[in-house]
A and B are shown apart, each in its own frame.
Chain A
């Protein structure tokens, strides 16, 4: 195969519903890659599964697949998606049902990748001395064991490759890395060895560029943002890869958005740590070796990517119950909108103090003045002339009753606080459960990815 085209169809669960259809119909592609999983998503899915054991996957995926199934079967387009969440088999069953309804019996093989879910194995691992220590704080997982909601290892491209080799047209995974969903098809199509570190790194970089959907093709792009054409019809990105590991980032013709060096660079630095060591289960990519070149309109050529051997660990993401929070807002109008909001904040805090309500954190922002840029913005504005300021005050505590009491202190300010206040139509804020994340490492040898094929 001389080139392989992998289209990015979803950058997160909640991304544009139209994108996958546009990607498989807008021009030739070989693979459609869809990323659904953020850390927060896994715990939501675990909660859904605990209420109904057939759930626990990204349901959007089924809706989207129902629409594109006839096209991908006809054109032989393969799909990789981590839509399986904490129930890849349930996701595959739902997809199979939809495929049969669409008259595609006998025409579809679904690959199912599991083995990432560690929830049932946690106690065994801890008992055998695996601490699963928090990468940021060093604390052992047993400190929060009784509050754990989900625990998943990040799998790499290898099981995706295996599923494709076994003939799967749609590969549904649990917690496979975003980049593995792109690297897998490239390893499969070009026969790259799993220790061909430079090509592994190149495929990883390709995956990183398209894993956030349109964020590399003109969406959320600061550079000359007003000149990005037709975002209403933005073209999602496509990697056009060659066997040597070089690739171009492109999009379908007659779509909006823009693919240029500046925009791809913005996506490369997104969520970056040490650029010399972008660590995945598959290998370590060195982002300081990436060469970008504008190869024509809406075409960026990527070359030169160097890699290093994979580590012997996998990252584990544990979700655990942390406590409660609530955030209340009120809007104050000119004149002296900021001063009024500040006075309301002082009054509210005094009342909380009088009630002897203590919290792990109280955080106040004045939206319109300092919410995003803090004191950097306050220095440069005329505080008395702002047309309006939103007081936004939040509290956090392990005690739900305290958070609940706080939520009752917002509305009274409307009549017994500073004047010119509005914007409270939403009513009393609700205490929310906080699910927090516990990043850890586990020896690779302890996690065994599994692949099965379901024929429709």
Chain B
């Protein structure tokens, strides 16, 4: 069955220049392999299509059951330059949690 990431993960994001980062954390260790398998960099790039200008990188932190994504070109120049409400990418994390993935019953 499909589940929103919101149900099985939590997240926090921040910025570095024009790059937003999203740390995606499994709510339970059993969900971490699902995140690794399904929430790929390519899938995240598709999810944010139209919202980011650059590529997406992904890093794995199995010790924390977390993935870290770097979304390049996400902040209209970032920091003080940006005209966006979310100039520092603080809530990109919650936008990722809208993604649906396949979870076995």
Which residues from chain A sit less than 8 Å from chain B, CB to CB?
Answer: 39-40, 136, 220, 222-223, 262, 265-276, 287-292, 304, 322, 325, 327, 361, 363, 365, 367, 371-377, 380, 392, 394-396, 434-437, 439
Contact = CB atoms under 8 A, between A and B. Distances in A.
Contact of A272 (B48, B68, B84, B85): B68
Instruction: Give the interface residue-count category, chain B.
Output: 35 or more
Nearest to B93: A222
Contacts of B66: 265, 268-269
Contacts of A288: 60-63
A269 B25 contact: yes
Contacts, number: 129
Contacts of B10: 222-223, 262, 266
Top 4 closest pairs, chain A to chain B, by CB: A269-B23, A394-B83, A271-B14, A363-B83
Nearest to A364: B83
Nearest to A435: B80
A372 B23 contact: no
Given A270-B14, A272-B21, A273-B70, A436 B59 contact: no
6 contacts: A262-B25, A266-B11, A363-B76, A372-B85, A374-B95, A377-B95
A361 B68 contact: no
Contacts of B17: 136, 437, 439
B47 A275 contact: no
B59 A276 contact: yes
Contact of B23 (A136, A268, A325, A436): A268
A372 B91 contact: yes
B42 interface: no
A372 B77 CA distance: 16
A182 to B, nearest CB: 19
A275 to B, nearest CB: 5
A437 B78 CA distance: 10
Q: Which of B59, B76, B98 has the most CB of A within 10 A?
A: B59
Q: Which of B51, B60, B68, B76 has the most CB of A within 10 A?
A: B68
Contacts of B80: 40, 322, 434-437
Contacts of B103: none
A290 B79 contact: no
B63 A290 contact: yes
A292 B25 CA distance: 13
B12 interface: yes
Given A363-B84, A373-B95, A269 B12 contact: yes
Interface string B65-101: 0101010000011011101111000010111001000
